[in-house]
Chains A and B, each alone.
Chain A
Amino acid sequence: SQQGEEDPQALSIQEGENATMNCSYKTSINNLQWYRQNSGRGLVHLILIRSNEREKHSGRLRVTLDTSKKSSSLLITASRAADTASYFCATEGGSQGNLIFGKGTKLSVKP
């Protein structure tokens, strides 16, 4: 079963703008991860934030985690047309690493 919700479901922005996507989840987690998927392809890992971390950066990506609200956000700064893809959060819980995905945000960056 899926862990939670993401919003917005779809986001359309201009190149150079920032894109923010949110993810909520339901159960306790070991970590939360963000993945990117180009149409018809496999998923690519972007960033992992552990349950005891609050913020993490990787290049143009910034992820926050609020375990009290069971939510996370992914910020992509200075977006590019090549960032057009679907973005999914996934939570890892339990002792053997099951990885459950949220519903995803479809990002479209117009040149």
Chain B
Amino acid sequence: DAMVIQNPRYQVTQFGKPVTLSCSQTLNHNVMYWYQQKSSQAPKLLFHYYDKDFNNEADTPDNFQSRRPNTSFCFLDIRSPGLGDAAMYLCATSAPGQAILNTEAFFGQGTRLTVV
């Protein structure tokens, strides 16, 4: 059973046109992450939520925003996609219950974003 689901798997968007990627989880985890991964590179953390607390990485561009309306869903909004934003975007969750630390992360299959 899929536990972290990302939709869509592939997204094509036009240069400058806002796009939203979605992630849902059935694990009831406290923490949700968004990563950007470019070809042959490591996943780069954009931001993460602990419950409703939003933690933005210092070098995440303002062009990237996130929303977490409830425990199960998290969205990545790219306000004005540029060609350099083409990448795989990975959502992950961790921390069941009160165990904040020392728990593994579960990843979705990713959304591959193409900007044309």
Query: Which residue in chain B gives the minimum CB-CB distance to A1?
Result: B59
Return the CB mask of B48-85 against A: 1 if under 8 Å, else 0: 10100101011100000000000000000000000000
Considering only residues 24-54 of chain B, those with a C-beta below 8 Å from chain A are 31, 33, 35, 40-45, 48, 50, 53
A residues within 8 A CB of B107?
Answer: 35, 42-44
Q: Does A97 contact B (CB under 8 A)?
A: yes
Q: Which residues of B contact A (CB under 8 A)?
A: 4, 31, 33, 35, 40-45, 48, 50, 53, 55, 57-59, 88, 90, 92, 94-95, 100-110, 112
The answer on a CB contact under 8 Å between B43 and A43 is yes
The answer on a CB contact under 8 Å between B106 and A45 is yes
Contact of B57 among A1, A96, A103 (CB under 8 A): A1
Q: How large is the interface on A (under 10, 10 to 19, 20 to 34, 35 or more residues)?
A: 20 to 34
Contact of A2 among B4, B42, B53, B110 (CB under 8 A): B42
The answer on a CB contact under 8 Å between B45 and A97 is no
The answer on a CB contact under 8 Å between A103 and B109 is no
Return the CB mask of A15-41 against B: 1 if under 8 Å, else 0: 000000000000000110101000011
B residues within 8 A CB of A50?
Answer: 102
Q: Which residues of A contact B (CB under 8 A)?
A: 1-2, 30-31, 33, 35, 40-45, 48, 50, 88, 90, 92, 95-104, 106
The answer on a CB contact under 8 Å between A1 and B90 is no
Given A41-B109, A43-B92: A30 and B102 interface contact (C-beta under 8 Å):
yes
The answer on a CB contact under 8 Å between A100 and B45 is yes
B residues within 8 A CB of A1?
Answer: 44, 57-59
B residues within 8 A CB of A35?
Answer: 105, 107
Contact of B101 among A41, A97, A103, A106 (CB under 8 A): A97
Assembly CA distance A90 to B40 (angstroms): 16
The answer on a CB contact under 8 Å between A103 and B90 is no
Assembly CA distance A22 to B64 (angstroms): 32
